[in-house]
Structure 1
């Protein structure tokens, strides 16, 4: 965390970004993009701003309680919350014009009370605490606490262009310090405060920023050179590019999605990565899937999910989402798993994955699918938990088609 207070201008920037998220209900990445665009902030100061914004969103209800404000009042009372944040972290108050002051005696009383309320201390909204307790039982408190921590920075070495050792050496020349990650062969953890996307190494396509837990998903697919592979919910394509590296650029890798703009962005990333065997295809209707029945050696279904395993990285989601969204997502997951699995050929492999830690989206979905589809068998599954791994939370199930 910070060792000295934010400047007045950075404080205003934090408040403006948070106001866009909390009052205008915009995604955090869009708020960052809009407010950082055109600014000439040094990378270190931009990192400080994002660090404070992220921490406030991870524990928004705690800081609001300490400041004695409601989240919906942030646009009007944001300076009071930011002052409370500085007091909480033992920092001098920032030099903001017209800042609302915090009553220190009231703050200390509230702080003592907050320490006795574990969900509040962990920055967990009531709906999420109830869901987590219901789904995970005794394991939930550790996951809840882990989700309140700042995420580590991981990157994936692009083996189409370099080795891990070569990447570490080249990054070091650009003042980026990275270390290997135990248990994830393709991952490095960045331990220096560096502007990764401004490096020549990134521009040359030597790495992608990707959580280490996420890298385990594509690894489980075990795609080989020359295979026909489908990433059916490709999105922005982080796992697609990982699969391309597994295939050494040989074979056919089809990235599919229902949104064309995501596939357009993937094409740009694939060119930078040198992933020349990536093709993109929009899923226009169910006919797109039917035409590919029993054609793929490998299919990855990284399905839409609640994202409750990646709240460290996307903390704004827990203040925007509601428990009513989960059944809708589960119905979509079931439909995708049932429909898209038809693309897997006999003896082919299907990997179902989510960035959730909730069993209802994970093993329970897989069990229900297997009960209705005896032509598939479960080879293995893995819960990548936030508390145990230090990564983001993911689930993956590896299945094989044994008959038509």
Structure 2
């Protein structure tokens, strides 16, 4: 948390970013990009702005309640919400020229009332609280609290170029402090406030930023040198690059997605990482999948999902998404699992994964698939819990093809 108030200019930037996200529905990362481009800001000040913006979005309904400001009023009333945020966090008020005042006695009354409403205090919208309670039961309150915390900074060592010890030493020489992550042998947690992507280590491709939980999913695939491996929902390729490291750059690694721009970004990242066995392919139609029938030793299906395990990293999703979207995603996941599983050869392994903590998207999907696909067998699964690990929330299940369909 901050130890001093934001400058007036930084406060205005926070209000503008929030307005862009909440009124226009712009994803937070794009709102940052739009407002930071052309700004001559030190990395420390950028960090302060993103810290405050992220904290407000993680508990937006709480701060709106305490300040009596509606999300759509941010451009006009945001100064009062920012003042409330500072007072709530025991910081001096920022010196804004035209700031709406806060009645501190009324604020104290509202804080006391909010503490009596756990979901509000944890910054959880009603629809999400109802869904979490229904699907996770007694586990939900701890997960709800964990999702209000700032996301930790994890990186994955690129073992194509160095070891974890080598990377930690080199980063230390570049004034970046890290600690090893227990249970994830490719991960380091960055514990200093450092300009990570300006380091020589990054420019040389020694690491990628990737949550430790995400690294566990790639590791679960068990890819080995010489295999034919398909990452069928590759996106920008964080897990693809991790798999390439497992394969020591040997064998065929096919990264597929329905969006070409994501694959173009992956190509750039693969070049920097020295992941020369990565081949990209756009999924133009169902024929793309059919041509690969029973050819792969390993297939990773990191399917589109609600993202309800990564809300501390993408807090704006809580205020943009609705419960009506989940059935659409569940139907898509079912279709992808049924169709893309055809690429796995007999004796090969399929890993189904999401960045959700909701059983409806996770084990329920796997059980439904296995009930109608007897040529696959369940091997194991894991729920990666934000409350238990401090990582983002993920799920994966390993399924082995034991016969032709």
TM-score (structure 2 length as normaliser) = 0.99
For 1:286 and 1:93, locate their aligned partners in 2 and report how far apart those are by CA, in whole Å. 57
Question: Deviation at 1:75?
Answer: 1.7
For the residue of structure 2 that corresponds to 1:315, the secondary structure is: coil
Please list every run of at least 4 consecutive aligned residues from structure 1 whose deviation after the TM superposition is greater than 4 angstroms: none
Q: CA deviation at 1:218?
A: 0.5
Flag structure 2 segments of 5+ consecutive residues without an equivalent.
Answer: none
User: Whole-Å Cα distance in 2 between the matches of residues 349 and 332 of structure 1?
Assistant: 21
| Equivalence for 1:25 | 25
**Aligned ranges for residues 15-54 of structure 1 at < 5 Å?**
15-54=15-54
Partner of 1:162: 162
CA distance in 2, matches of 1:244, 1:48: 35
Could you state the TM-score of these two structures normalised by the residue count of structure 1?
0.99
Residue 348 of structure 1 contacts residue 401 of structure 1 at CA under 8 Å; is this kept in 2? yes
- SS of residue in 1 equivalent to 2:95: coil
How far is the alpha carbon of 1:88 from its aligned partner? 0.1
- Secondary structure of the residue aligned to 2:38 is coil
Where do residues 320-399 of structure 1 align in structure 2 (5 Å cutoff)?
320-399=320-399
- Give the Cα separation in 2 of the matches to 1:119 and 1:199: 40
In structure 2, C-alpha distance between the alignment counterparts of 1:392 and 1:300, rounded to whole Å: 19
Structure 1 residue 178, shift from structure 2 partner:
0.6
Distance 1:193 1:40 in 2: 19
Q: What is the alpha-carbon distance in structure 2 between the residues aligned to residue 186 and residue 134 of structure 1? A: 35
CA offsets, 1:93-134, max 9 Å, x none? 001111111111110100000111100000000010010011
Equivalent-residue separation in structure 2 for 1:53 and 1:111 (angstroms) = 20
Matches of 1:299 and 1:221, distance apart in 2: 8
Distance, in Å, in 2 between the alignment partners of 1:41 and 1:150 is 22
2:83 match: secondary structure: helix
What is the Cα deviation at residue 64 of structure 1? 0.5
1:278 matched to 2:278: yes
1:284-334 CA distance string (max 9 Å, x none): 000000010000000000000000000000000000000000000000000
1:261 aligns with 2:261: yes
Other-structure match for 2:244 = 244
Partner of 1:68: 68
The Cα shift of 1:72 comes to 1.4
Deviation at 1:69, TM superposition (A): 1.2
Counterpart for residue 122 of structure 2: 122
**For residues 26 and 212 of structure 2, what CA distance do their matches in structure 1 show?**
27
Aligned mates of 1:151, 1:329 — CA distance in 2: 25
CA distance in 2, matches of 1:331, 1:92: 49
Counterpart residue number, 1:306: 306
Q: Distance in 2 between matches of 1:170 and 1:77?
A: 46
Match in the other structure for 1:401: 401
Are the counterparts in 2 of residues 23 and 75 from structure 1 also a CA contact under 8 Å?
no
Structure 2: distance between partners of 1:299 and 1:291: 15
CA distance in 1, matches of 2:197, 2:123: 30
- Alignment correspondent of 2:14: 14
SS in 2 for 1:208: strand
Q: CA deviation at 1:155?
A: 0.3
* Alignment of 1:205 onto 2:205: yes
1:98 aligns to what?
A: 98
| In structure 2, C-alpha distance between the alignment counterparts of 1:200 and 1:102, rounded to whole Å | 46
Q: Aligned pair 1:192/2:192, yes or no?
A: yes
Secondary structure of the corresponding residue to residue 46 of structure 2: helix
Q: Which residue of 2 aligns with 1:56?
A: 56
Q: Deviations over 1:128-184 (max 9, x none)?
A: 001001110111000000001111110000000100010001101111001100000
